[in-house]
């Protein structure tokens, strides 16, 4: 008979992914199977928790069908936040507040599904717990389409975004070939500082598709003149030219390419200029200088919410990292993040392990220079060998009346 | 035993769709099954044919697997064109050229898969055939994501585009709810003059999604002040506001909304200002006036090439109209287009028939005024009853190594 292990709380933080809820299910189901008393879900991450907003997940996940629906529901089920805890030395009040609430709710295990910033939260809570002699176990569950977390081979969420980008790039390339008229298409892919997602456009290349002509990652400075020269060369010998660029490509002087857009301001509520319009800036330039039909396509948020075409490997691993976090915490781990360790590419074998969150938080993993070609306009085979296993197989949505069905908190 | 029926030629024209090749397969397979000698495919439609470019389809469709792959391949397999034949009275030379080539190739049946402009081609060729006493049968096969062909209940290609728009809209709405921060998202949908595609965003609405907040079709003038006022009202009481607009919405003075964009010129090789940027113009306006986080998402060409999520009803009907065209032509029809006739909504029953192409060509079918609400900012239940059957069921891609596999002319 299972022994009761007290209460668990789980939160989701940072940008959504198509499979973030599969990790939530992994935490929930494993905790319940291993005898957790209650599994709470904080609403909008630690920010909502500080406001006393949380739910008892058993009231919302009521059946095996709910579990299957939730796995396939994009965007954080519990809502998310972009809240960074202060340094402990600057403000202990907020930590006292969190720990008081955790105590009041009799929480023994705390799981946080997220990326870099979220691991910073786990790190600080662990540290404060140790300082104050708390017995609560804090564990990080990796998640981000950006794949920029260190130590782990890759992050859940990345494989599905890559599969979406590869598929859509392939479809757009076919579309560009339809007319007997020359055209240049620029695809804008997410990833401000790391080119993992943009490089995924190369997946389109295969026996039935020649793939994009060039790929520009944010890891290298963007040489505008070389870019224009290469596009002209390609345009001179090909009907349809397709180029993938990261939203975050920067000129050698440090300015973002999207800042070259004149007269357009796209700011958010905080006055931050949004990194959007890179593809359009480049397409306009090419239209003017080359005089051909151009098209700018921003993949936009679809990259992180297209749960209608997820990678089964990804959604399975997302579940596994959630489960592994629970297992590790229940067995005494604290202040760690679950990582994925690749044993081999072919056959693809990948196992979970745990790693000190202090060494992961706030570190950004970029595409290695040697995985980008010398000219800086394409990825090398090593990149594709790395990414290909992560996009394999599918988990089809549960379709109701013609559309994918999701589970929501209001159900 | 089947009697040999001579040679057949088929072409694809106008904008691509996710299921246009299913119609090509319908023509090819039905013609072969009914004893056609050869089935040729013109490359880049009538334009390529005039240049003597065509293939023998049997050299490219070699197995049942090829047929299944081709059905699932987006964008015109044979390439497309936007070529309009001159009026017969203005130029008989070009017609003589076409008919000479058809005679040389011993063509008895001519099929053209396309929309309004393509039906104009069928009309003119039929007329010229009658004038010159040709025995060739010309038949139109309907196709367009825009659903703006007259007489037919709907057009193949529309259902899949609508399913994609509904699914993506639903996923984007979920994405917008993830943060505890107010935001306004504007979705830009294709359809210059008809709102069939934009209206499909309403499909997202269901038990698990409240759907977009407003939908603006190009059938009605766009009242910018009323739009801003309504967004402000919604913003005052909702966390996340999602609005779908047609790329073709126009101000009461006749200017396109996208022309309000300052400092941005997005022109093609012919100097045509592209109808793109409508969502961005509106999002920028809202960002400035409401001061909240905004996002503009253009669904772009993905609407017409997302074969990874097609409607099975649509792909089946696309095949059927191709087959019905062959059957009708082989039985003597000439100068007609296959149409879809809906017998009932629930259960959905739809049959094929044929109709005089002269009465279809160059007519644009718009969304009826009574299918749009009085305020002009949403579609009525009648619209949804019409569209819902068209998006039902799926035909999953054939996935190879993690991505959808396509059939191409080079295979």
pLDDT digits (tens, 9 = 90+) for B365-402: 999 999 999 999 999 999 999 999 999 999 999 999 99
> What's residue A362's pLDDT?
86
With contacts defined as CB-CB under 8 Å, which chain B residues touch A306?
Answer: 168, 171
Residues A117, A120, A146, A314: which is the catalytic one? A146
In this structure, of A120-129, A211-220, A357-366, the range with the lowest mean pLDDT score is: A357-366
Q: Kindly state the DSSP code that residue A230 receives in the 8-state scheme.
A: H
Chain B contact present for A177, CB below 8 A: yes
Cα-Cα-Cα-Cα dihedral sign, residues A74, A78, A79, A84: negative
Helical segments of B257-401, H only: 278-290, 302-305, 312-330, 381-387
ipTM of the complex: 0.94
Residue (of A143, A113, A147, A75) closest to A387 by Cα position: A147
With contacts defined as CB-CB under 8 Å, which chain A residues touch B263?
Answer: 262-264
Buried b (16+ CB within 10 A) or exposed e, B8-45: bbbbbbbbbbbbbbbbbbbbbbbbbebebebbbbbbbb
> What's residue A223's pLDDT?
97
Res. A3 pLDDT band, cuts 50 70 90: low
Q: What is this structure's pTM? A: 0.95
Residue (of B146, B100, B91, B138) closest to B119 by Cα position: B138
Give the SS3 label for residue A183: strand
Q: Helix, strand, coil: what percent of chain B each, to 5? A: 40, 20, 40
Average pLDDT over residues A67-96: 96
Placement of tokens 């269901």 in the chain: B206
Chain B, 55-114: which have a CB under 8 Å from a chain A CB?
A: 73-76, 79-82
With contacts defined as CB-CB under 8 Å, which chain A residues touch B267?
Answer: 287
Number of other CB atoms surrounding residue B111 within 10 Å: 29
Residue (of B103, B134, B109) closest to B28 by Cα position: B109
Nearest-neighbour CA in chain B from A93: distance (Å)? 23
Q: Given strand A183-189, what is the order of strands in its sheet?
A: A214-216, A240-246, A183-189, A293-298
Which position has the higher pLDDT, A2 or B344?
B344
Chain A, 316-375: which have a CB under 8 Å from a chain B CB?
A: none
Residues composing chain B: 411
Residue in chain A closest to B206 (alpha carbons) equals: A405
Please give the mean pLDDT across all residues of chain B: 94
What are the residues whose beta carbons fall under 8 Å from the beta carbon of B309, sequence distance 6 or more? A308, A309, B160, B163, B164, B167, B394
**Is B391 close to A402, i.e. CB distance below 8 A?**
yes
With contacts defined as CB-CB under 8 Å, which chain A residues touch B47?
Answer: 180
In this structure, of A12-16, B187-191, B213-217, B266-270, the range with the lowest mean pLDDT score is: B266-270
Which region holds residue A211: left if phi is over 0, alpha if psi is between -120 and 50, else beta? left
Question: By the 8 A CB rule, do B102 and B110 touch?
Answer: yes
With contacts defined as CB-CB under 8 Å, which chain A residues touch B388?
Answer: 401-402
Residue B188 φ/ψ, nearest 5 degrees: -105, 125
What's the rounded Cα separation, in Å, for the pair A352 and A321?
7
Residue B17 φ/ψ, nearest 5 degrees: -135, 175
Q: Kindly state the DSSP code that residue A274 receives in the 8-state scheme.
A: P
Chain A, 237-296: which have a CB under 8 Å from a chain B CB?
A: 261-269, 276, 280, 283-284, 287, 291-296
**Is B175 close to A291, i.e. CB distance below 8 A?**
no
Is residue B1 predicted with pLDDT exceeding 70? no
Nearest to A264 among B263, B306, B388 (CB): B263
Res. B270 pLDDT band, cuts 50 70 90: very low
Buried b (16+ CB within 10 A) or exposed e, B342-365: eeeeeeeebebebbebbebbeeeb
Nearest-neighbour CA in chain A from B262: distance (Å)? 6
In a mutational test of the A interface, the residue from B18, B50, B179, B277 whose CB has the highest number of chain A CBs within 10 Å is B179
What's the rounded Cα separation, in Å, for the pair B18 and A170?
13
Question: By the 8 A CB rule, do A339 and A363 touch?
Answer: no
Average pLDDT over residues A59-68: 96
> What's residue A264's pLDDT?
47
**Is A178 close to B16, i.e. CB distance below 8 A?**
yes
**Is B175 close to A262, i.e. CB distance below 8 A?**
no
Res. A410 pLDDT band, cuts 50 70 90: confident
**Is A175 close to B75, i.e. CB distance below 8 A?**
yes
Which stretch of DSSP H or E encloses residue B109?
Answer: strand B107-114
pLDDT digits (tens, 9 = 90+) for A48-59: 999 999 999 999
Number of other CB atoms surrounding residue B229 within 10 Å: 11
CA distances from A198 to A215, A364, B170, B292 (A): 7, 16, 25, 28
Placement of tokens 């056609």 in the chain: B36
pLDDT digits (tens, 9 = 90+) for B64-119: 999 999 999 999 999 999 999 999 999 999 999 999 999 999 999 999 999 988 99
What's the rounded Cα separation, in Å, for the pair B276 and B267?
10
> What's residue B5's pLDDT?
86
In this structure, of A100-109, B30-39, B233-242, B299-308, the range with the lowest mean pLDDT score is: B299-308
Residue A127 φ/ψ, nearest 5 degrees: -60, -45
Res. B410 pLDDT band, cuts 50 70 90: confident
Work out how many CB contacts closer than 8 A connect A with B: 223
Question: By the 8 A CB rule, do A175 and B75 touch?
Answer: yes
Average pLDDT over residues A94-106: 98
Question: By the 8 A CB rule, do B149 and B362 touch?
Answer: no
Helical segments of A133-255, H only: 158-176, 196-199, 224-237
Cα-Cα-Cα-Cα dihedral sign, residues B233, B234, B239, B244: negative
pLDDT digits (tens, 9 = 90+) for A230-288: 999 999 999 999 999 999 999 999 999 988 875 444 444 444 455 668 999 999 899 99
With contacts defined as CB-CB under 8 Å, which chain A residues touch B264?
Answer: 261, 263-264, 280, 284
Nearest to A405 among B208, B266, B291 (CB): B208
Chain A contact present for B157, CB below 8 A: no
pLDDT digits (tens, 9 = 90+) for A207-241: 999 999 999 999 999 999 999 999 999 999 999 99
**Is A261 close to B265, i.e. CB distance below 8 A?**
no
What's the rounded Cα separation, in Å, for the pair A197 and A226?
23
**Is A166 close to B80, i.e. CB distance below 8 A?**
no
With contacts defined as CB-CB under 8 Å, which chain A residues touch B302?
Answer: 168, 171-172, 297, 302
Residue (of B293, B185, B196, B300) closest to B244 by Cα position: B185
Is residue B264 predicted with pLDDT exceeding 90? no
């Amino acid at each position: 008979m299972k022994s009761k292990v007290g209460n668990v709380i789980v939160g989701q933080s940072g940008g959504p992914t198509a499979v973030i809820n599969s990790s939530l299910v992994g935490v929930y189901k494993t905790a319940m199977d291993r005898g957790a008393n209650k599994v709470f879900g904080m609403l909008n991450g630690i920010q909502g928790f500080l406001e006393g907003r949380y739910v008892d997940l058993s009231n919302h996940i009521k059946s095996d069908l709910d579990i299957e629906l939730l796995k396939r529901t994009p965007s954080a089920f519990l809502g998310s936040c972009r809240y960074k805890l202060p340094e402990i030395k600057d403000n202990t009040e907020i930590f006292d507040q969190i720990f008081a609430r955790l105590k009041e709710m009799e929480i023994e295990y705390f799981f946080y599904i997220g990326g870099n910033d979220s691991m910073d939260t786990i790190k600080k809570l662990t540290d404060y717990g140790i300082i104050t002699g708390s017995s609560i176990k804090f564990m990080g569950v990796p998640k981000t389409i950006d794949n920029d977390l260190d130590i782990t081979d890759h992050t859940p969420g990345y494989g599905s975004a890559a599969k979406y980008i590869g598929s859509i790039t392939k479809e757009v390339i076919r579309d560009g070939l339809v007319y007997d008229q020359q055209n240049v298409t620029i695809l804008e892919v997410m990833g401000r500082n790391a080119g993992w997602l943009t490089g995924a456009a190369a997946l389109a290349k295969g026996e039935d598709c020649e793939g994009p002509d060039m790929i520009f990652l944010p890891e290298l400075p963007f040489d505008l003149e070389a870019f224009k020269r290469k596009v002209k060369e390609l345009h001179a010998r090909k009907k349809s030219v397709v180029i993938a660029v990261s939203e975050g490509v920067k000129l050698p002087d440090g300015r973002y390419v999207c800042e070259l857009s004149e007269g357009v301001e796209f700011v958010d509520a905080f006055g931050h200029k949004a990194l959007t319009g890179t593809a359009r800036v480049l397409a306009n330039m090419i239209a003017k200088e080359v005089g051909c039909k151009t098209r700018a396509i921003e993949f936009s948020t679809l990259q992180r919410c297209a749960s209608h075409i997820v990678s089964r490997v990804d959604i399975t691993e997302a579940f596994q990292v959630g489960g592994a976090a629970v297992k590790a915490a229940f067995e005494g781990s604290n202040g760690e993040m679950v990582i994925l360790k690749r044993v081999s590419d072919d056959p693809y074998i990948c196992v979970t392990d745990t790693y000190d969150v202090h060494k992961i938080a706030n570190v950004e993993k970029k595409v290695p220079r040697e995985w980008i070609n010398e000219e800086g306009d394409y990825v090398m085979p090593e990149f594709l060998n790395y990414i290909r296993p992560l996009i394999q197989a599918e988990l089809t949505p549960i379709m109701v009346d013609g559309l994918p069905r999701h589970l929501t908190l209001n159900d």
